[in-house]
C-alpha cells in the first residue's frame, strides 16, 4: 500500500524517494540497533528470504562487532535465525546497518612520509561526535601527533634522533589557530582534555602545525572520494606505486568460497588488473590465492593449464608482478620449486614480469620454500620480521637473508641489499611494539641462537668460534656484551673460565648480570703496589706483647713466620696475651 501511495504521489507531484524514515519531529528514528517492542521468533508467519544473502549480511555484522561492542547483543540475537530467516529477521538486520551508518562521527586520516615514501597511515572514525569542522580537524591532528611521537621514538631507537619538530600539514586555519591559542573559548571548551595533548606537543616543539591548501592535502585520499586527476596525483605523491590484487584459484576455494567457475575467475582477475591500470597505476601485482594447492606435478593437467591461463591473462591486462603464494603452508620445497619453474617455463609473457613468492609456515617449511622459489626463478620474496603473520606465521626475513648471505653461491649467486647489522635491532623493535615474543630457540634472533651449553661446545668456542658458529653475532648487529657495557678487554688474559664454570654448576642460566659481576671482579682490580703478608708477635710470660713487626712483601708473595718457639711461647702466655696474638695473626693471614 505504501509503495502504491508513493507511486501515485510521484505521478501528481515532483518528488524524491528518500528511503525509510530517519527523523520524525526532530527525533532520530534509528537511535538503537534493535526495536525493543519487536519480538523475534523462529517460526513467524512472514515469508522467507534468501538464506545466502541473510547469512552473508550477518557474517559481516559479526566481523564488525570486534570494534563495535554496542552491536554485540543485536547481532547475537539475529544469528539465531540464520537457518531459516524471514522478512522480519532481515528487517532487524537492516535496522542494525542503518544504526551503524547513522553515527554522525567524522572520519580522520593521516599519512607520514620519510624521504620519498609513505611509512605510516591511518583512516578511522572518531570516537566522539565533532560539533564543527574545526573540532574534527583538531581531533585528527591529535591522532597524527600521537603517531608522530611514536615514529620519533622509533627513529631514536635506530640511532636517527630527529632534532627538529615533525611538521604536520592541515588545511583548516581555525584548527591551526586553536593549537597556538592557549585561551579556552567557545570552540574548544567542550573538547575532551586528551585532545589538548596536541597543543602541549606544539609548545614543546615536538611537532609543528602548518597550513596547506585543500588541493595539496594528501590525507584526503584516505577520507573522501576524489576525481581521477586528484586521486592519481595524491597516490603518486607519497610514493604509492604498486597495488596488489588477488583472487582464489584452487579448486576448493573456487567451489566453496567464491562459488565461481574457472572462466568467471579468469574474467574477474583480468578485469581487476585492467581497472587498476586504468586508474594510472603502473605497477600492479597479482596473486593467484592458494596456488600452492593446484596440482601441477603429475596428475591433473587441466589445473596446470588453468593457472598458466589466468597468469597469462593478467599479464596481458597489465600486471607487472606475479606473486605465487603458498597460502596454507601446504607445499614442501621440491614441490614449490617445481611450481615456480613450471610457471616460468609455460606462462606466456612471463619474461616481462617479476615472479614473487609468499610462503606461509603451517608445516614449518616457509623459509625453505622461499629459498627454493628463489633458486627456481623468483626474484622477489615476501617475508616478515621474526616470521610473524597469519596462523603459524610467514617466511622469516632474517632466516632468508642470512641463508642467502651464507649459501648464496650455492643458490646461483643470489644476494640481497639488506644491511644485516640492523637485523637484531629490527627484531627487537617488532617484538616490543607488537607484543609478540620471539621464542628462545628462534633461528638468528632467538635468545639462544648464539648460546652454547654443552661442555664440548664451550671448549670448542674458547679455542675458535668458527668451530660451532657459522656466522658472527656481529654480522646481525648482536654486539659483544662486554664491549657494549664499556669493558675494554681486548688483548687481556682473564682467568674467568673456572670461575664461570663454578657459577654454571650452581645456576642453570647464566644471566648478563652474572657475566658483568665476573668480569668486573677481574677488570676493576687495582694495580698491586705492595701487599700485607704476615704479622709476627713475640710475647713474654709476665708482660704484654713485647714486639710486633709487620712483614711487607712487594712481590705479592706471603711468608709463614711462625716457629716452634713462638708456639711454645703461646702455650706459656696467659689468656689475654694468647688472645692478642691470635687476633694479630688472624689479621695477618687476612
pLDDT tens-place string over residues 82-102:
888 999 999 899 888 888 776
Residues above pLDDT 90, as percent of the chain? 29
Q: What is the pLDDT of residue 452?
A: 80
Q: What is the pLDDT of residue 182?
A: 57
Query: With bands split at pLDDT 50, 70 and 90, how would you rate the model's confidence at 404?
Result: very high
How much is the pTM? 0.60
Q: What is the pLDDT of residue 278?
A: 87
Query: With bands split at pLDDT 50, 70 and 90, how would you rate the model's confidence at 569?
Result: very low
Contact, 296 vs 331, CB < 8 A? no
| Angstrom distance (rounded) from CA 405 to CA 443 | 15
Return the bridge partners of 266, or none.
none
Residue 308 phi/psi, 5° resolution?
A: -60, -35
Fold of 107-221+533-542: Nucleotidyltransferase; domain 5 (3.30.420)
pLDDT digit string, tens, across residues 336-362 = 999 999 999 999 999 999 999 999 999
Query: With bands split at pLDDT 50, 70 and 90, how would you rate the model's confidence at 407?
Result: very high
Instruction: Give the mean model confidence (pLDDT) for residues 385-399.
Output: 95
Q: What is the pLDDT of residue 185?
A: 57
Residue 539, H or E segment = strand 531-539
152: helix, strand or coil: helix
Q: What is the pLDDT of residue 187?
A: 59
Q: Which three cell numbers stand for residue 569?
A: 711461647
Q: Is the model's pLDDT at 580 over the cut of 50?
A: no
Q: Which of 99-113, 319-333, 450-464 is modeled with the greatest confidence? A: 319-333
Residue 356, H or E segment = strand 354-359
The candidate with the shortest Cα–Cα distance to 404, out of 468, 466, 475, is 475
Q: What is the pLDDT of residue 31?
A: 58
Q: What is the pLDDT of residue 301?
A: 61
Return the bridge partners of 425, or none.
none
pLDDT digit string, tens, across residues 105-145 = 778 888 898 877 788 888 887 777 777 777 888 888 888 99
Between these two residues, 38 and 81, which has the higher pLDDT value? Answer: 81
| Angstrom distance (rounded) from CA 84 to CA 66 | 25
Question: Which superfamily does CATH assign the domain made up of 241-418 to?
Answer: Aldolase class I (3.20.20.70)
In the chain, the N- to C-terminal Cα span, in Å, equals 110
The per-residue pLDDT of the chain, averaged, comes to 80
Residue 124, H or E segment = strand 117-125
Contact, 108 vs 223, CB < 8 A? yes
Q: What is the pLDDT of residue 490?
A: 56
pLDDT digit string, tens, across residues 256-279 = 999 999 999 999 999 999 999 987
Q: What is the pLDDT of residue 317?
A: 95
pLDDT digit string, tens, across residues 510-567 = 777 777 777 777 666 666 777 777 878 887 775 544 444 544 444 444 434 444 444 4
Q: Which residues of 66-83 are buried (b: 16+ CB within 10 A; e: fewer)?
A: eebeebeebbebbeebee
Q: CB pairs under 8 A, 24+ apart, for 278-283?
A: 279/228, 279/231, 279/232, 280/228, 280/232, 280/235, 281/235, 281/241, 281/242, 281/243, 282/241, 282/320, 283/241, 283/242, 283/243, 283/320, 283/321
The candidate with the shortest Cα–Cα distance to 202, out of 229, 242, 166, is 166
Query: With bands split at pLDDT 50, 70 and 90, how would you rate the model's confidence at 65?
Result: confident
Q: Is the model's pLDDT at 29 over the cut of 60?
A: no
Q: Is 314 exposed, middle or buried (0-12, 13-18, 19+ CB in 10 A)?
A: buried
Beta strands per DSSP E along 371-465: 380-382
| Angstrom distance (rounded) from CA 260 to CA 237 | 38
Nearby residues of 347 by Cβ (< 8 Å), 6 or more positions away = 308, 311, 312, 315, 322
Amino acid at each position: 500500500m505504501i509503495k502504491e501511495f508513493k507511486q501515485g504521489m510521484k505521478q501528481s507531484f515532483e518528488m524524491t524517494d528518500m528511503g525509510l524514515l530517519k527523523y520524525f519531529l526532530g527525533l532520530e528514528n534509528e537511535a538503537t540497533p534493535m526495536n525493543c517492542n519487536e519480538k523475534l521468533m523462529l517460526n513467524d508467519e512472514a515469508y522467507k528470504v534468501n538464506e545466502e544473502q541473510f547469512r552473508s549480511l550477518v557474517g559481516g555484522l559479526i566481523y564488525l562487532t570486534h570494534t563495535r561492542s554496542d552491536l554485540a547483543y543485536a547481532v547475537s540475537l539475529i544469528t539465531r535465525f540464520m537457518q531459516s530467516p524471514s522478512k522480519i529477521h532481515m528487517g532487524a538486520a537492516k535496522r542494525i546497518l542503518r544504526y551503524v551508518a547513522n553515527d554522525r562521527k567524522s572520519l580522520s586520516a593521516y599519512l607520514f612520509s620519510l624521504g620519498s615514501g609513505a611509512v605510516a597511515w591511518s583512516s578511522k572514525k572518531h570516537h566522539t561526535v565533532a560539533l564543527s569542522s574545526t573540532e574534527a580537524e583538531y581531533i585528527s591532528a591529535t591522532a597524527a601527533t600521537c603517531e608522530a611521537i611514536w615514529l620519533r621514538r622509533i627513529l631514536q631507537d635506530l640511532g636517527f634522533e630527529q632534532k627538529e619538530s615533525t611538521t604536520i600539514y592541515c588545511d583548516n586555519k581555525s584548527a591551526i589557530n586553536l593549537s597556538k591559542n592557549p585561551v579556552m573559548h567557545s570552540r574548544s571548551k567542550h573538547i575532551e582534555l586528551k585532545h589538548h595533548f596536541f597543543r602541549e606537543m606544539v609548545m614543546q616543539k615536538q611537532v609543528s602545525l602548518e597550513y596547506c591548501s585543500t588541493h595539496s592535502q594528501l590525507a584526503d585520499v584516505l577520507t573522501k572520494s576524489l576525481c581521477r586527476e586528484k586521486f592519481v596525483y595524491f597516490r603518486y605523491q607519497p610514493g604509492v606505486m604498486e597495488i596488489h590484487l588477488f583472487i582464489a584459484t584452487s579448486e576448493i576455494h573456487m567451489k566453496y568460497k567464491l562459488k565461481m567457475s574457472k572462466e568467471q575467475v579468469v574474467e574477474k582477475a583480468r578485469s581487476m588488473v585492467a581497472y587498476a591500470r586504468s586508474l594510472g597505476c603502473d605497477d600492479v601485482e597479482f596473486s593467484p590465492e592458494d596456488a600452492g594447492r593446484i596440482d601441477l606435478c603429475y596428475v591433473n593437467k587441466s589445473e596446470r593449464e588453468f593457472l598458466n591461463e589466468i597468469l597469462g591473462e593478467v599479464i596481458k591486462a597489465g600486471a607487472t608482478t606475479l606473486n605465487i603464494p603458498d597460502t596454507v603452508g601446504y607445499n614442501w620445497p621440491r614441490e614449490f620449486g617445481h611450481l615456480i619453474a613450471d610457471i616460468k617455463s609455460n606462462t606466456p609473457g612471463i619474461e616481462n614480469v617479476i615472479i614473487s613468492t609468499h610462503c606461509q609456515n603451517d608445516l614449518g617449511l616457509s623459509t625453505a620454500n622461499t629459498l627454493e622459489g628463489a633458486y627456481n626463478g623468483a626474484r622477489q620474496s615476501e617475508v616478515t620480521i621474526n616470521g610473524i603473520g597469519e596462523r603459524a606465521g610467514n617466511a622469516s626475513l632474517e632466516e632468508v637473508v642470512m641463508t642467502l648471505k651464507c649459501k648464496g653461491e650455492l643458490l646461483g649467486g643470489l644476494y640481497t641489499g639488506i644491511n644485516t647489522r640492523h637485523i637484531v635491532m629490527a627484531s627487537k623493535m617488532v617484538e616490543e611494539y607488537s607484543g609478540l615474543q620471539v621464542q628462545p630457540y628462534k633461528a638468528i634472533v632467538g635468545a639462544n641462537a648464539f648460546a652454547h651449553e654443552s661442555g664440548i661446545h664451550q671448549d670448542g668456542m674458547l679455542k675458535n668460534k668458527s668451530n660451532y658458529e657459522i656466522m658472527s653475532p656481529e654480522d646481525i648487529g648482536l654486539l659483544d656484551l662486554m664491549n657494549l657495557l664499556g669493558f675494554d678487554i681486548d688483548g687481556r688474559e682473564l682467568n674467568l673460565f673456572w670461575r664461570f664454570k663454578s657459577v654454571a654448576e650452581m645456576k642453570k642460566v647464566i644471566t648478563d648480570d652474572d657475566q658483568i659481576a665476573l668480569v668486573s671482579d677481574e677488570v676493576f682490580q687495582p694495580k698491586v703496589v705492595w701487599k700485607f703478608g704476615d704479622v709476627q708477635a713475640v710475647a713474654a710470660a709476665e708482660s704484654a706483647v713485647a714486639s710486633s713487626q709487620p712483614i711487607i712483601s712487594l712481590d705479592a708473595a706471603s711468608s709463614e713466620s711462625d716457629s716452634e718457639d713462638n708456639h711454645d711461647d703461646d702455650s706459656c702466655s696467659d689468656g689475654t696475651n694468647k688472645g692478642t696474638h691470635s687476633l694479630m695473626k688472624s689479621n695477618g693471614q687476612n
